[in-house]
Structure 1
Amino acid sequence: MDLLTSAYDLVVGYLVPFLFVLTIVVFFHELGHFLVARWCGVRVVTFSVGFGRELFGFNDAKGTRWRLSLIPLGGYVKFAGDDNAASVPDRERIAAMSAQEREGAFVAKPVAQRAAVVAAGPIANFILAIVIFATIFFSFGKMITAPLVDQVQPGSAAEAGGLQTGDLILTVDGRQIEAFSDLQRIVSVSADRTLAMTVDRAGAVVELSVTPQARVVRDNFGNEQRIGLLGVSRSPSQDDVKVKNYGLVEAVVAGTQETWFIAERTLSYLGGVITGRESADQLGGPIRVAQVSGQVATQGVMALLSLAAVLSVSIGLINLMPVPMLDGGHLVFYLAEALQGKPLSERVQDIGFRIGMGIVLLLMVFATWNDVLHLTNL
């Protein structure tokens, strides 16, 4: 009975939220490729959510096979003339095509159309994130606590930087601070990095430079994270708390700003990993996503949708990396083709795809190893 209970908890508590989040993100990514491909006259052979053996599927009126596959760790759209899910051309099959068949082949389309089809996947991820955030803002508004400093801890980064009780934070690195949560989010991802602040101090605008201290903390679920801390607390007064409601246009603008913030901070973190300023132990794979999905699911559907939006931005950015096999690698090839007036040689492309496959596999292994270490440290 205990074994059945544990299995049930695993499926309902982690697997179902994980599949919910990942399926939404993957579906919209591939839908971006699919819609633009159809618009450009490319024949789509397969639209798959997941990899491996097909669990079930159907053919639409234009002959595309829509399928749900066994391994739920991604998806793909396969076009006419493709050899595999990564859109590597099947040159023998293309050479054997009739003139009519070639009209619908992806590889036969102008480079601008191929680039548009490839870029549409990551763009769809960003649009999905904007839509989710905008829907949340429009439906529920946003709880805002004034960015007012109530207390400054002795010996903290805030004290060293000159922050005082009663300061109202106006901007951080030129970004307008509307709520105390805005300050927390910027500071948490800026450990050991000096931030330029402007504050309202009794009616006078004061400029400060503050460097958040790096600290390893545990969240409510027991996960360890390395974040930046200032050492200030917000005002406990209910007079400093309000709900901001958004109209439709305002919600879309706020959703776009939220998506941009996540993209900017993600790229900043990745840049920090490359330069050695940030630790790579926060990079996670499917195990970490499943764990976080289960934890966030306990907070409700809206929290799970917010996680889907964050993950969608991350997937969009990862796919734009200039690595062959990923969308960004294809775009690099198309840029080279546009500049030199002809495609790169088959040998160069084949070597690029092999290198790209190696890089992707190494990243997957590294992320999974991080996930295992993370679980053993809980």
Structure 2
Amino acid sequence: MSTVIAFIVIFGALVFFHELGHFIFAKRAGILCREFAIGFGPKVFAHKRGETVYTLRLLPLGGYVRMAGEDPEMVDLKAGHRIGVILNDREEIVKIIVNGKDRYPQARVIEVENADLEHQLIIRGYEDGEEEIKTFPIHREAVISEDGVESQISPWDRQFASKTLGQRAMAIFAGPLFNFILAFVVFVLIAIIQGVPTNEPELGKLTSDGAAKESGLMEGDKVISINGQGVASWDDIVTVIQKNPQAEIDFTVERDGEAMDIPVTPKVREIEDQKIGIIGVHSPVEKSFFGSISYGAKETYFWTVEITRLLGKLVTGQFSIDMLSGPVGIYVSTDTVAKSGIMNLMKWAGVLSINLGIMNLLPLPALDGGRLLFFLVEALRGKPIDRQKEGMVHFVGFALLMLLMIVVTWNDIQRFFLQ
């Protein structure tokens, strides 16, 4: 059960911060955000605050921010439509009832002649019992009620497409950006809690079952030499240990001002078919706020480069698609990491956040990177690509991504449960 909770918390946090990036920069640009959703499929929970509905949905496979203008906008009121309207004290329409007018006895009934819900914000038509056409102004935050479901109208200046290229690009780029920011914050917190690794020739924390503890070494011991050879850094210590699996080596350490000789026999660990020595000791650490900031930046950079390098191998064929992991693989890995402690689980969350950010920046349809690619084309040609054509490309891309997700998930199931 603890693994399930850890997986939900980590995956939920990654998706939440990703969508929060989209949401914040869309709002800053003045875009109407209709929904902030975590998950897909049927609603499990919904709460409206302001002009946005916050929802939790059944399938935990991502999330989205539904911005005005990205989907077909509202109901198209055509000539001859009979609608109900509710006006405020300034004779502005604040609610348009497309059907179900019987629920609103106070509504005035209008036969529409023409309407503009985006630019002019007016409805012109005949009110019941009158023969003269009237023009009714629409409040900018008016709502449309259809089958009992209310949706706020979006004037053109509140729609995604009305914003500058830079504003639109930033609203999309902010999602992956927030994943990198989240990873940086997580790595900084790890460093603040457990300290920043240093390269001093000292011993950090010892594992309970390691050769270092069994031989009598202690945390804080300053290593003077190994096998008579002086050491000047933690890296020197690691190099000697790794080169001597199952071979006794003599440590000379300084403890409480006294020199001590302690023999240690490193145990063996296999990494990529290579045997190396380990003694179960961590590097020394120091606690420093600015050091923690530096550590967070270095870790974020390191994992960004490492994950990008692995993706490059996938493109060049050096890395098989069978080795990719989906939600099932991530769950299994989370279970393994969770057993090794909260710090490792936090680091795993940081790495996953960077991975999510990079994957979303890939220039593929339906991903944020694909949308940014369309913005680049728009900047080069001086005008946007036809929205229907772009929408079709993203739809096909989304379908292919779902197919890839199914394949990867099946590979995970075979790898972890059917072998």
Question: Normalised by the size of structure 1, how large is the TM-score?
Answer: 0.69
8 Å Cα contact 2:176/2:360 also seen in 1? yes
8 Å Cα contact 1:147/1:180 also seen in 2? no
> Is residue 2:53 matched to residue 1:65?
yes
Distance 2:68 2:15 in 1: 21
8 Å Cα contact 1:143/1:244 also seen in 2? yes
* Matched pairs, number: 295
Match 1:294 to one of 319, 331, 335: 335
8 Å Cα contact 1:80/1:105 also seen in 2? yes
AA aligned opposite 2:61: L
Match 2:391 to one of 350, 360, 363: 350
Give 1:136 deviation, angstroms.
0.6
Indicate the residue corresponding to 1:119 in structure 2.
173
More moved, 332-341 vs 343-352: 343-352
> What are the superposed Cα offsets for residues 228-262 of structure 1, whole Å, 9 maximum, x if unpaired?
4654435x497xx6522242222122111111111
Match 1:332 to one of 373, 379, 393: 373
> Is residue 2:39 matched to residue 1:50?
yes
Q: 1:178 to 1:274 in 2, by over 3 A?
A: farther
Match 2:326 to one of 285, 299, 304: 285
Q: 1:326 to 1:178 in 2, by over 3 A?
A: farther
Indicate the residue corresponding to 1:103 in structure 2.
157
Match 1:271 to one of 312, 317, 331: 312
Indicate the residue corresponding to 1:137 in structure 2.
191
AA aligned opposite 1:375: F
AA aligned opposite 2:65: V
Give 1:142 deviation, angstroms.
4.0
> Is residue 2:400 matched to residue 1:359?
yes
**SS of corresponding position for 1:251:** helix
AA aligned opposite 2:66: K
Distance 2:67 2:41 in 1: 17
Stretches of structure 1 that go unaligned for 5 or more consecutive residues are 1-11, 84-89, 149-164, 171-175, 185-217, 220-226
- Tell me which protein shows more strand as a share of its residues: 2
AA aligned opposite 1:315: L
Which protein, 1 or 2, shows the higher relative CO under an 8 Å CA cutoff with sep ≥ 6? 1
8 Å Cα contact 2:196/2:291 also seen in 1? no
* Pairing 1:192-203 to 2, within 5 Å after superposition: none
Give 1:354 deviation, angstroms.
3.1
Distance 1:134 1:257 in 2: 10
Indicate the residue corresponding to 1:32 in structure 2.
21
Larger radius of gyration: 2
> What are the superposed Cα offsets for residues 125-151 of structure 1, whole Å, 9 maximum, x if unpaired?
000000000011012114568799xxx
Question: Normalised by the size of structure 2, how large is the TM-score?
Answer: 0.63
**SS of corresponding position for 2:175:** helix
Give 1:68 deviation, angstroms.
1.2
Distance 1:307 1:180 in 2: 24
Give 1:374 deviation, angstroms.
1.4
**SS of corresponding position for 2:284:** strand
Distance 2:406 2:18 in 1: 23
8 Å Cα contact 2:196/2:288 also seen in 1? no
Distance 2:30 2:201 in 1: 52
Distance 2:236 2:74 in 1: 59
Q: 1:145 to 1:358 in 2, by over 3 A?
A: same
Identity within the alignment, %: 34
AA aligned opposite 1:21: I
Distance 2:315 2:369 in 1: 18
